[in-house]
Structure 1
Amino acid sequence: MEISSGITASLSGRYASALFDLANDQGFVSAVEGDLEKLDAALRESADLKGLINNPQLGRDEAGRAMDAVAGLLGLGELTKKFVGVLAANRRLSALPDVIRAFGQIAAAQRGEVSAEVTSAHALDDAQVAALTEKLKARTGKSIKLKTSVDPEILGGLVVKIGSQMIDSSIRTRLNSLAQAMKA
């Protein structure tokens, strides 16, 4: 499988690619992807964990021990634990969110999927998610892995990101466009 050179060109992409190769060789791609999703959720929910990975004053050993404890609490697999330990030892924990994102892209590409991030003003129900997934699948011709988030500031509508493409049909953007047109 060929991995996009855009992903592997970055530092986080190289780490993600190396982790993917190891996981693929050992047959643990799904397990590692699940572990990284747990870690990503923990990073989004915990300001302390986010502070830990971005703390330049924390030594390699302390960071490694702290991340090992976090991995234990989250129930991460051995390969993922070792990988996070390598990031800590190389003082690259700050790249972890980007590594997680890149790993997800590589794994999705290997499965023939496209990742899409959808932001809405209110939580989407299962029927809406299914309908949106089908529409995006028809548009891209590929299987879609949908990640949803809620941002009340968009007021209504959706913001859909597929790779480098963004479809912004939010009310906030429409109001901003109208305001700009009225100024002219």
Structure 2
Amino acid sequence: MSSSSVDSSKPEFEGSVSGLSGRYASALFELMQEAPDTDQKDISNSMDVLSGLFGVDQSFGDMLVSPVISVEDKENSLVKIFSKASIGQTVTNFAVLVVKNRRSFLLQDICRAFKALEAKARGEMTAHVTTASKLSEQHENKLKQQLKNKFGQDISVIAEVDQTLLAGMIVRVGSRMIDDSLRTKLFTLKQAMNEAG
């Protein structure tokens, strides 16, 4: 599998595919592009499912970054989880390789970078959206339309869940941040009160 680097200076990616996670994502993306159409769809769908696992099950991400869980145990856990989640063999093999290389802590970033590469190939911008609970399909489609109206082009949404957010959402499109989270508003208010006191 190729591990050619990506030109992270390109503004379309805004650094999303830079570094080691970007190189892993680029390698999988190149592999997908060379595959038959049915395999391309399987890889893309499997990466969507893998990305979603981080949002619905915090223990999944915790397991991958844990220094006390052995590489072998992480591999075995991934294979079992991926089998139940209907993640295809190519992505399973890829994720196991990442774990074998002791880079399991990068898997979530690799997912983000991979989806950014897909969005770029479709001529879309990528929005990273963080919410306190999982976005419904209806809300995600409404958000996409609002972002399309704002930026004037199709937007691909990479949605993540951060249960520490009290409400609202944080949206990052490239270098632009749109923060509507209650946690941030409360923190800003607390800072203002401290300064006033």
Alignment partner, residue 24 of structure 1:
33
Matched, 1:56 2:67: yes
Unaligned runs of 5+ in 1: none
Alignment partner, residue 168 of structure 1:
179
Matched, 1:94 2:105: yes
* SS of match in other structure, 1:112: coil
Alignment partner, residue 18 of structure 2:
9
Alignment partner, residue 153 of structure 1:
166
Matched, 1:85 2:85: no
Q: Post-superposition shift, 1:23?
A: 1.0
The alignment's TM-score, normalised by the length of structure 2, stands at 0.72
The alignment's TM-score, normalised by the length of structure 1, stands at 0.76
Alignment partner, residue 144 of structure 2:
133
* SS of match in other structure, 1:71: helix
Aligned length: 180
Residue 116 to residue 93, structure 1, CA distance change in 2 (3 Å): same
* SS of match in other structure, 2:172: strand
Query: Bigger shift: 11-20 or 49-58?
Result: 49-58
Deviations 1:63-121 (A, max 9, x none): 32222222211111111011011112111111111111111111111111122244567
Write the distance in 1 (CA, Å) between the matches of 2:87 and 2:70. Answer: 22
* SS of match in other structure, 1:75: coil
* SS of match in other structure, 1:153: coil
- Give the number of the structure whose residues are more often helix, by fraction: 1
Note if contact 1:23-1:79 (Cα within 8 Å) is conserved in structure 2.
no
Deviations 1:135-154 (A, max 9, x none): 32133232112355687624
Write the distance in 2 (CA, Å) between the matches of 1:48 and 1:122. Answer: 16
Residue 112 to residue 82, structure 1, CA distance change in 2 (3 Å): same
Write the distance in 2 (CA, Å) between the matches of 1:88 and 1:159. Answer: 30
Note if contact 2:129-2:158 (Cα within 8 Å) is conserved in structure 1.
yes
Write the distance in 1 (CA, Å) between the matches of 2:40 and 2:151. Answer: 24
Write the distance in 1 (CA, Å) between the matches of 2:192 and 2:57. Answer: 41
Alignment partner, residue 11 of structure 2:
none
Residue 31 to residue 170, structure 1, CA distance change in 2 (3 Å): same
Residue 167 to residue 74, structure 1, CA distance change in 2 (3 Å): same
Query: Bigger shift: 9-18 or 66-75?
Result: 66-75
Identity %: 31
